[in-house]
Structure 1
Amino acid sequence: MPVLRDPLLSCRLTKPVLFVLSLSLCSAAVADTHDDGRQDFLSGVTAFQEGNLNQAKQLLESAQTKGVQSLALIYNLGVVYYKLAEYEQSRQTFSQLIGTKQTSLAHYNLGLVALSENDSSTALHHFRTVVADGSQQKLAKLALAQLKRLGSQTPSPKQWQALFSLAVGYEDNIGLFPDTAASTLDDGFIESVGAASGYAYRHDKTAIQWKAQFYIRDYFEEDNFNTHLLRLGTAWRYHLGQDRISLGLEGDQLWMANTSREQRARLTADWLTPTCSTKALKANCQIKLEAEQIFADKAQYQAYEGQHYRLDTRYRAHQGDWSGELQYRFDYNNRKNREIEDEFYSVSPMGHTLGGKISYAITRALKIGANASFRHSDYTHSHTFKNGETKKRTDRRLSYSLNAEYQFDRTFAVTTKLGRMSNDSNIDRYQYDRETVTLGVNIRL
């Protein structure tokens, strides 16, 4: 593998068309390995060549247990599992190559695994990804041949993608009123999210990407809380080995209560690397910086004009059917703040957020998960109230949710989410609870 329906394991290939790819994998196997593990790896290759698949499996798994870490070992284990018709294991193993320099090879082999399971829609997705990537021309030709055999049209080399979701939901405290309030506002809503991205330019390790996103939440009765957001952006991306760096420019238009509220101009920079993986977990780490300027449309929103800066760090990992994410985010705001006669309200918090996500794939179609986050916010200026009292606001907000997704195929999925948010503040008027439930559909193109 990667020959049609007949994977290869050995470093000494009989198919010269794939010599360069497999040679790079084999050379990777020689580096950074323990002697015993390396010997098991080489013995596993020999066992495969001799047709002893079960012995090859045992030796390669032993090499992994003894600390061998290389793309070649992952690749070869995936091939052995494939040859033994252990397709679930093969799929999980090849998936570990995604995000490395062998991403295209991983997708091609995952396509072959899907074909063996008679899952043509998943196979089409993987073969199209290989062709759209275009970084491995020989693999792309093989993937094109598979697509032709499956009766699929050639995919766009720009690899344009789109996602649309539509949901209905209910929220029990729209206005975020405190628990001591005489009444609250609750209402149902319709929520939709859309995103599209693609490459205006892509060559070798460099690409220029365009993206567009929108978010809409319309309440059935409480129109004053309707929210619409449109975001457009572009980014320059560069692959440096296994790492990816990017610089971007984005612009937002925000509407509240069906009228324009503000615009935002944003600069972004981020770095993504898989080097934080361990022997037990395949992972990637991301650091992202944002700086944005906010412009208000109307006098009632001018207090929110100013600057917002953000540092966002994430650690994502998966093992088997489990996946998870840890996040730390720092926010700093420098807004105009709000003055009403003798009163003063700060809208410039400095916040620290710690969050986590975990999900489990019960089957290939059904996934369940849970999210939780805690944010501590200190406002940079003290509030001044009508009675002359001053107090510096501090908030501690806890959010958590349960969610589930059923994926009918690569295109269509049904989702549901139940969430709760609790804000504990040293100023009573900002202390509130809110619960939300949604049911929706996702369409991926």
Structure 2
Amino acid sequence: MRPITLATLFIALMILAPFSMAEEGTGSPDFEAGVAAFGAGELTAARAHFERARNAGLNTPSLLYNLGVVYFRLGQYESAEAVFLELLDTPHAPLARYNLGLVMQESGRPEAARRWFEQASGPESPEKVRVLALRQLDEPEADRFGEISGSGYLWAAGGYDDNIAGTPDDASSNQAGVFADLLAAGDARIGDDGFGLHGVAYSRQYPGNTEFDNTYLSTGASLLKGVGAGELKSTLSVAGSWFGGEVLEREVRLAAVYWPDQCFFMSILSGVDCSASGSLSTIRGGSGFSAYDGEMLRVDVSAWKSAGSWLFRGRYLLEVNDRKDLTTGQEFFSVSPLRNLVSAEARYYVSGRLSLGARGDIRHSRYRDDHRLVSGNAVVSERRTDNRLRGVLLAEYRLTGPWLVLAEWSMLNNRSTIERYDYSRREVMVGVEMGF
């Protein structure tokens, strides 16, 4: 938790400012209903009203500000950031800069928060905003030293898989069955020096098909620092995975992710956030999976934008594998693919509680060396190239507080130059999740 002084400053600003800005008068019943709902503490209802007003064509600074405040109070920091960025070209820019500092604080990005507070404390800002920003900047280091803050995530789900995947995930088993998923993740930030710890635990169990059970555990440390006009997070982690009760892989990974304060294409499309990341892993397979020994390089670029009740995301992932590969008698199987993945997602917030979405991706995999396969009395060599298409429909409903109910249906189709790797797969899943 943050010191009580910061929480008090935030509440004072967030309660007073929305009403003063609402005095502009918009003539929109939804906007006025949103202001009333906010004053009554009904944040989800306020959000729904404000989003309907914006979808109807209202895009005034007062609406954007109120909408950003509601997003913040609901913990939807990406959406809040996108809305406050839109206010930087309006007379409310000083207050928007201060609020962007608060968003960065709560998102665990202290260097970016400090830069926004420094801008908000400039002479062009109103006295009230400058005082609040300077208080944030002047907070004694001793007050922050040793402060621990963090977040966590829990997810439990069950479903049905009509073609359980073996190992790797692009080889099918032609078996169907129900499954149970459990995921727990958490991170802790220590002080304001950017140091943090994290951990992830995931398990998928197939009752009746235990040979396909898989488990993943990861832990590590990270360092977050301001670099240029953005923030860089470096992470060193160790991980282990198990398949069918046996050790599959052990991994040591060095990763970095960079969040620029402003994406390079902001001049074309405003309100877009983005990140770029890369990782290098050394992997050792278990006693029965030594073919997976080797290295893996990943480069990942993502972008997202909030537009009214919509949230859009896009991603590109490059993966390069250099593994030991598998030789059995006369046959040879490459497990060293070069992969390119492109994905896109759109989500629509029907109300403050319900959201619907769709996600799709295409992954092209080309394996480094030719497979050698026995066919009759001959050995045939062929380069394996796969094209995998996946589509997902999803829905989330917020019950109360941090609890969500989710439902997801996915369809996957893999087509390969080697027929044995052609397969289709469908999954349906229902579960609950909680963030804290």
- Alignment partners' CA distance in 1, 2:304 and 2:285: 36
- Alignment partners' CA distance in 2, 1:109 and 1:351: 38
CA offsets 1:1-48 (integer angstroms, 9 cap, x no match): 9647322999xxxxxxxxxxxxxxxxxxxxxxxxxxxxxxxxxxxxx8
The residue type equivalent to 1:53 in the other structure is E
Residue 251 of structure 1 corresponds to 238
> Structure 1 residues 313 and 129, CA, compared in 2 at 3 Å: closer, same or farther?
closer
| Preserved contact between residue 281 and residue 318 of structure 1 (Cα < 8 Å) | no
1:219 aligns with 2:201: no
- Alignment partners' CA distance in 1, 2:133 and 2:401: 21
For the residue of structure 2 that corresponds to 1:97, the secondary structure is: helix
Shift in Å, 1:240: 4.1
Residue 120 of structure 1 corresponds to none
1:169-188 mapped onto 2 (5 Å cutoff): 169-175=159-165, 184-188=174-178
- Alignment partners' CA distance in 2, 1:142 and 1:257: 55
1:377 aligns with 2:365: yes
| Preserved contact between residue 107 and residue 129 of structure 1 (Cα < 8 Å) | no
Of 344, 350, 355 in structure 1, the residue corresponding to residue 332 of structure 2 is 344
Residue 424 of structure 1 corresponds to 415
- Alignment partners' CA distance in 2, 1:254 and 1:167: 20
> Structure 1 residues 159 and 140, CA, compared in 2 at 3 Å: closer, same or farther?
farther
| Preserved contact between residue 109 and residue 224 of structure 2 (Cα < 8 Å) | no
Of 3, 16, 19 in structure 2, the residue corresponding to residue 6 of structure 1 is 16
- Alignment partners' CA distance in 2, 1:326 and 1:354: 8
- Alignment partners' CA distance in 1, 2:362 and 2:67: 36
- Alignment partners' CA distance in 1, 2:236 and 2:423: 35
The residue type equivalent to 1:6 in the other structure is L
> Structure 1 residues 199 and 104, CA, compared in 2 at 3 Å: closer, same or farther?
farther
CA offsets 1:59-106 (integer angstroms, 9 cap, x no match): xxxxxxxxxxxxxxxxxx65x449xxx954764696423899988943
1:282 aligns with 2:271: yes
Residue 32 of structure 2 corresponds to none
Residue 148 of structure 2 corresponds to 158
| Preserved contact between residue 132 and residue 158 of structure 1 (Cα < 8 Å) | no
Of 284, 295, 299 in structure 1, the residue corresponding to residue 284 of structure 2 is 295
Residue 35 of structure 2 corresponds to none
CA offsets 1:188-231 (integer angstroms, 9 cap, x no match): 0100111101112x33xx40121101111000110000000001
Structure 1: which 5+ runs fail to align? 11-47, 58-76, 111-125, 144-155
Residue 216 of structure 2 corresponds to 229
- Alignment partners' CA distance in 2, 1:218 and 1:294: 24
Shift in Å, 1:286: 1.1
1:270 aligns with 2:257: yes
Residue 116 of structure 1 corresponds to none
Residue 99 of structure 2 corresponds to 106
For the residue of structure 2 that corresponds to 1:53, the secondary structure is: coil
CA offsets 1:373-399 (integer angstroms, 9 cap, x no match): 001111000001122110010000001
For the residue of structure 2 that corresponds to 1:220, the secondary structure is: coil
Of 307, 322, 326 in structure 1, the residue corresponding to residue 310 of structure 2 is 322
Of 343, 348, 356 in structure 2, the residue corresponding to residue 368 of structure 1 is 356
> Structure 1 residues 263 and 7, CA, compared in 2 at 3 Å: closer, same or farther?
same
- Alignment partners' CA distance in 2, 1:168 and 1:231: 22
Residue 198 of structure 1 corresponds to 188
Query: Equivalent pairs: percent with the same residue?
Result: 22
| Preserved contact between residue 132 and residue 157 of structure 1 (Cα < 8 Å) | no
- Alignment partners' CA distance in 2, 1:131 and 1:252: 23
- Alignment partners' CA distance in 2, 1:183 and 1:317: 38
After alignment, is 337-346 or 98-107 more displaced?
98-107
1:207 aligns with 2:200: no
Query: Which one has a bigger Cα radius of gyration?
Result: 1
> Structure 1 residues 107 and 412, CA, compared in 2 at 3 Å: closer, same or farther?
farther
The residue type equivalent to 1:286 in the other structure is S
1:393 aligns with 2:384: yes
- Alignment partners' CA distance in 2, 1:416 and 1:4: 34
- Alignment partners' CA distance in 1, 2:80 and 2:303: 21
Shift in Å, 1:130: 9.7
- Alignment partners' CA distance in 2, 1:373 and 1:412: 28
- Alignment partners' CA distance in 1, 2:399 and 2:339: 39
The residue type equivalent to 1:289 in the other structure is G
Q: How many residues align?
A: 349
- Alignment partners' CA distance in 2, 1:399 and 1:221: 26
- Alignment partners' CA distance in 1, 2:196 and 2:173: 48
The residue type equivalent to 2:99 in the other structure is A
For the residue of structure 1 that corresponds to 2:15, the secondary structure is: coil
For the residue of structure 1 that corresponds to 2:290, the secondary structure is: helix
- Alignment partners' CA distance in 2, 1:131 and 1:376: 35
Structure 2: which 5+ runs fail to align? 1-9, 29-59, 72-78, 89-93, 118-129, 137-145
For the residue of structure 1 that corresponds to 2:291, the secondary structure is: helix
| Preserved contact between residue 165 and residue 173 of structure 2 (Cα < 8 Å) | no
| Preserved contact between residue 292 and residue 323 of structure 2 (Cα < 8 Å) | yes
- Alignment partners' CA distance in 2, 1:238 and 1:7: 31
- Alignment partners' CA distance in 2, 1:444 and 1:304: 34
Residue 433 of structure 1 corresponds to 424
CA offsets 1:321-372 (integer angstroms, 9 cap, x no match): 1111111111111000000011100000001111111101000110111110
For the residue of structure 1 that corresponds to 2:99, the secondary structure is: helix
The residue type equivalent to 2:330 in the other structure is D
